[in-house]
């Protein structure tokens, strides 16, 4: 890895895990690393190119696991605002976490043709962001045993996000492909904002059949699920942006501000303003 990039990412050579927030187009140039990297999109859209083979449009919640052998670059789409979280993981830390999960996992990950990609819920992203906030309180050798344990837990949980394709699924839990694709669309912010019509636009089934299938697999209505996804995303935006509560209400696609406030408090126990103050 180039010295400039190494200094940019690994400010302390002893760190086995280092999180950083990125708001700019720092990754425009095609490059690789001498560490493992996981990143996920917090806000906005980017076009990501990996190994000069595949250009992908990534939106909020999309996550990518890059190995030492991977080369990549990313740019903002149409110069829109964007934010993503980079998590830099040393090879020793990554191998240790893989072996904790499964002794053969590291080999499976590095032998795969393309970087792993996944979709993370806004609720899960908020959990990770809270952990990174906690990590920022430590300096030097302060509570080093606790910090090391937190590194280990975080690394395992981050890797777990990408392991669905390595795990066998039982027939009772295996969703049809069209249904899984539809669920992913619920978590794409522009579609989330527009509502069910936009989300179901590419699903070639009768709406009554989709409703019955959704109820069967998710044990709730699509409207209820969409509200849950919207509120989770709102909770994340309250923590990672300075957008006003009314702007966030509009951003997630809820037209009634009082309804948003009541629904948010019912789910999280606090109004949006109280939640932001607590998690500031």
Q: What is the mean pLDDT of residues 250-277?
A: 93
- Of all residues in the chain, the percent with pLDDT exceeding 90 is 31
pLDDT at 123: 78
CATH of segment(s) 3-166: 2.60.120.280
In sequence order, the 6+-apart residues with CB closer than 8 A to the CB of 77 are: 44, 45, 46, 47, 57
pTM exceeds 0.85, yes or no: no
How many angstroms separate the Cα of 268 from the Cα of each of 179, 211, 231, 254? 28, 27, 9, 17
Range with the poorest average pLDDT among 25-29, 76-80, 274-278: 25-29
pLDDT at 72: 83
**What is the rounded distance in angstroms from the CA atom of residue 118 to the CA atom of residue 38?**
11
**What is the rounded distance in angstroms from the CA atom of residue 112 to the CA atom of residue 218?**
31
Please write the tens of the pLDDT for every residue from 62-91. Answer: 999 999 888 888 777 666 667 888 899 999
What count of other Cβ atoms lies within 10 Å of the Cβ of residue 65? 24
pLDDT at 141: 53
Q: Tokens 């609720």 map to which residue?
A: 123
| Structure tokens that stand for 237 in this block | 């935006």
**Cβ contact 86:37 at 8 Å:** yes
**What is the rounded distance in angstroms from the CA atom of residue 249 to the CA atom of residue 251?**
6
Range with the poorest average pLDDT among 93-102, 169-178, 238-247: 169-178
**What is the rounded distance in angstroms from the CA atom of residue 167 to the CA atom of residue 175?**
14
pLDDT at 78: 66
In sequence order, the 6+-apart residues with CB closer than 8 A to the CB of 153 are: none
Q: Which fold has domain 177-278?
A: Arc Repressor Mutant, subunit A (1.10.10)
Q: 127 vs 195, which has greater pLDDT? A: 195
User: What mean pLDDT, rounded, does the chain reach?
Assistant: 82
**What is the rounded distance in angstroms from the CA atom of residue 76 to the CA atom of residue 134?**
29
| Domain layout of the chain by residue ranges | 3-166, 177-278
| Structure tokens that stand for 267 in this block | 């789910």
């Amino acid at each position: 890895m180039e010295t400039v990039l190494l200094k940019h990412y690994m400010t302390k050579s002893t760190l086995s895990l280092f999180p950083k927030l990125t708001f700019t187009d720092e990754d425009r140039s095609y490059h690789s690393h001498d560490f493992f990297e996981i990143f996920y999109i917090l806000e906005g859209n980017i076009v990501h190119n990996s190994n000069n083979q595949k250009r992908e449009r990534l939106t909020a919640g999309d996550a990518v696991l890059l190995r030492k052998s991977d080369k990549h670059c990313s740019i903002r789409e149409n110069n829109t605002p964007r934010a993503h979280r980079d998590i830099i993981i040393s090879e020793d830390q990554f191998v240790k976490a893989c072996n904790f999960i499964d002794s053969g996992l590291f080999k499976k990950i590095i032998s795969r043709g393309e970087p792993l990609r996944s979709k993370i819920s806004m609720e899960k992203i908020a959990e990770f962001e809270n952990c990174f906030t906690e990590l920022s309180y430590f300096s030097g050798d302060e509570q080093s045993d606790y910090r090391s344990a937190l590194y280990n837990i975080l690394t395992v949980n981050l890797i777990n996000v990408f392991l669905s394709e390595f795990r066998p699924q039982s027939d009772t839990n295996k969703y049809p492909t069209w249904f899984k694709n539809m669920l992913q669309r619920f978590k794409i912010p522009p579609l989330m904002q527009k509502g069910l019509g936009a989300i179901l636009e590419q699903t070639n089934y009768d709406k009554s059949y989709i409703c019955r299938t959704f109820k069967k697999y998710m044990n709730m209505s699509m409207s209820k699920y969409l509200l849950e996804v919207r509120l989770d995303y709102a909770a994340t935006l309250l923590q990672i942006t300075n957008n006003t509560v009314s702007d966030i209400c509009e951003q997630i696609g809820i037209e009634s501000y009082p309804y948003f406030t009541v629904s948010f408090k019912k789910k999280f126990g606090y109004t949006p303003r109280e939640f932001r103050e607590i998690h500031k």
